[in-house]
Structure 1
Amino acid sequence: MSATKAATTGLNATYGFIGLGHMGYPMAVNLRSKIPRSARLVVFDTNRAVSDKLAEQFDGVEVANTAREVAEKSATIVTVLPRPQHVQSVIRSMLQPTKLPLDGLDKKRLFIDCSTIDPGTSGALAEEVKFSGQGDFVDAPMSGGAVGARDATLTFMVGASEELKDRVHAVLIMLGKKIVFVGPQTSGVKAKLANNYILAIANIGAAEAMRMATAWNIDITTLTDIINSSTGRCWPTEANHPVPGIIQDSPSSRGYTGGFATALMNKDLHLALMGAAQAGFEPSLGRVAHELYCEVEKDEEMKNQDCSVMYKFLGGR
């Protein structure tokens, strides 16, 4: 199903976007660029300045004063928010205090949450939306970072029912290049947390290996070439190298700015551990990694820098 077919007239041709942060803003830019010119994009962020910036950048963008206003004016709403409590607050504020208007809609509202949250919260919100009779809620967290958000090359991991797949795909294909339907609702966030669990541990491993190389007087570039053609190859050594100057456009080469903040990495690791415990499994490496990330977070500067700052932190120790 194409985006043009999905959007017809009135509310059916209106998209909502909530959360214009590091990932959300470029995603909203891509959405506005790819939906029909006649369609509207209604946006909201607690930082009004970023919403106004988007409206100045594009025609057909309307700035809402509340999340509820976005829902009232949109048939499809995408949320990209930092933490479970933010998603919970926004979804509930859209559903209350009265039922959303249905005039102008030819199908249920669709709430697509691209945030990385825990399965428990995601499942509970899906039930609340369903019970309220005001729409359908699907989880669709993404991978690919800020570059993927900018270039619309994100991978989405989706938890949705069979009947929603075409509609969800029509929206997400405008924001990424790969949409994987993992299973029923909550399957997407579970897959994302498993992925980020690996990343959190690999990030530490790469940083420690580079510290070993420094202590052993091994050339970092040479070691990186070896690793990336050997069994140690991983995203932190290929794309997000922890040592400044090895990859010119990596966060480490920009003073660890941009990228995936240490605090958010630790948040995802915590959610993965929590979700695993709820399912009756107790991971071991993740708990040690979580303790280390908590140490890094005590540094007010490093907690907001890209997670590859782990290399700098280990050097300080």
Structure 2
Amino acid sequence: MARNEVTQAITWGFIGLGQMGYPMALKLRENMPKSHKLLISDVNDQVLSRFIRAVQDAAGHAERGSVDVQIAENPREVAEKSTVIITCLPTPQIVKDVFDGIFIDGILPSLQHQRLFIDSSTIDPPTSRAIAQLVRTVLGGAFVDAPISGGVVGARAGTLSIMFGASTQLPSLIERVTSILSLIGQKICHVGEQGTGVAAKLANNYILAVNNIATAEAMSMGRQWGIDPRVLTEIINSSTGRCWPSEVNNPVPGVIEGSPASRGYEAGGTVGVIQKDLRLAMAGADDAGVTLMLADKANEVYTAVEKVYSGKDFSVVYKWMQDQTSEKPEVI
């Protein structure tokens, strides 16, 4: 981070403590200067209370009094009091709603440093650019899109890959954003102008959505052919079929210890979220005149899976495939 922000006491803001935001905010509190304050906001009061307890427990009983984490009344308060504001929200509409709530009262009180809004949500580029324009003109702050990749496991470990979009004409902003994101992620990549971060994320998640189905199909084939899923996974992960759904988020229960599949498909990234990203990629590709050959079929599959396993990790597509060959779906 820029030296002046390290040496000067500032307030950080984090809005959205969901599946990804919660561990990201914990990692931020762990790595940010201990003398700084963290202001948090979420629609779920229980999550907010749980977060504060988790931070206190991590600090240890002797240091609990020195842990400065506070709950904001709403996103506007976060924006008013914070120099750096990170948002991690599930859908473009929720991102719009949150920023509408910040914009409603107009210009924000002056702070020692320019406010920086970092949106780590996965949304469409037009929405991201529109919000960025309003942040600049209405709030007088800087806005970058910085979607994340690596799942809940990566968020907890601080190993996320983060791609961000920011003006190439502002090298100091790029340096500032890179140093901040390094507190919660491992690989930080400046993609290009504002809006290119979310565009890169959608391209990546299009591959993820398709690879997840392909991996589930391959593991299903192996199962029917009598191949031990662990053996098949070892072969795939040392061969050309290796991918994140095979290596980290393998869809077969028991193959990868601690994976969602091995925990009853407890959600890391839900079916609904991957389908949302797929549809955003489809819309963006259509707008750019790019034909996606596999998108419609993948969307059809996720629509069917969502009807049966809503809220489960998207690797549950493998379980759904098994259901298609049996008379009655198993309860998970």
* Structures share fold, TM-score greater than 0.5: yes
Q: CA deviation at 1:8?
A: 4.3
Counterpart of 1:178?
Answer: 187
Is 1:60 paired with 2:68?
Answer: yes
Moved over 4 A (4+): none
Counterpart of 1:252?
Answer: 261
Look up the SS of the partner of 2:140 in the other structure. coil
> Which of 300, 320, 323 pairs up with 1:313?
320
**Distance between the aligned counterparts of 1:221 and 1:29, measured in 2?**
33
Q: CA deviation at 1:9?
A: 3.8
Q: CA deviation at 1:55?
A: 2.6
TM-score (norm 1): 0.94
> Which of 222, 233, 237 pairs up with 2:231?
222
Is 1:18 paired with 2:15?
Answer: yes
Gaps of 5+ in 1: none
CA shift digits 1:194-218 (9 cap, x unpaired): 1110010000001111111122222
Counterpart of 1:72?
Answer: 80
Counterpart of 2:45?
Answer: 48
Superposition CA RMSD, Å: 1.4
Counterpart of 2:116?
Answer: 110
Moved more, 274-283 or 217-226: 217-226
Give the number of equivalent residue pairs.
Answer: 310
Counterpart of 1:89?
Answer: 97
Amino acid paired to 2:126: G
Amino acid paired to 1:148: G
Q: CA deviation at 1:113?
A: 0.1
Amino acid paired to 2:75: A
> Which of 145, 148, 157 pairs up with 2:154?
148
Look up the SS of the partner of 2:250 in the other structure. coil
Q: CA deviation at 1:187?
A: 0.5
Is 1:196 paired with 2:202?
Answer: no
Look up the SS of the partner of 1:304 in the other structure. coil
TM-score (norm 2): 0.90
> Which of 263, 276, 291 pairs up with 2:272?
263
Counterpart of 2:285?
Answer: 276
CA shift digits 1:138-169 (9 cap, x unpaired): 10001111111111111100001232111111
Counterpart of 2:242?
Answer: 233
**Distance between the aligned counterparts of 1:265 and 1:26, measured in 2?**
19
Counterpart of 1:36?
Answer: 33
Look up the SS of the partner of 2:310 in the other structure. helix
**Distance between the aligned counterparts of 1:285 and 1:243, measured in 2?**
23
CA shift digits 1:88-127 (9 cap, x unpaired): 111121122231111xx23321110000011111111111
CA shift digits 1:44-94 (9 cap, x unpaired): 000012112223333100100100011111011000000001111111211
CA shift digits 1:200-255 (9 cap, x unpaired): 00000011111111222222222222211211111111111111111111111111
Look up the SS of the partner of 2:239 in the other structure. coil
Moved more, 165-174 or 77-86: 165-174
CA contact (8 A) 1:115 1:140 kept: yes
**Distance between the aligned counterparts of 2:124 and 2:137, measured in 1?**
20
**Distance between the aligned counterparts of 2:123 and 2:45, measured in 1?**
24
CA contact (8 A) 1:95 1:134 kept: no
Q: CA deviation at 1:133?
A: 4.2
Q: CA deviation at 1:128?
A: 1.4
CA contact (8 A) 2:108 2:139 kept: no
What fraction of aligned residue pairs are identical, expressed as a percent?
51
CA contact (8 A) 1:120 1:275 kept: no
Look up the SS of the partner of 1:28 in the other structure. helix
**Distance between the aligned counterparts of 2:5 and 2:249, measured in 1?**
37
Counterpart of 2:196?
Answer: 187
**Distance between the aligned counterparts of 1:64 and 1:253, measured in 2?**
37
**Distance between the aligned counterparts of 2:139 and 2:87, measured in 1?**
19
Counterpart of 2:167?
Answer: 161
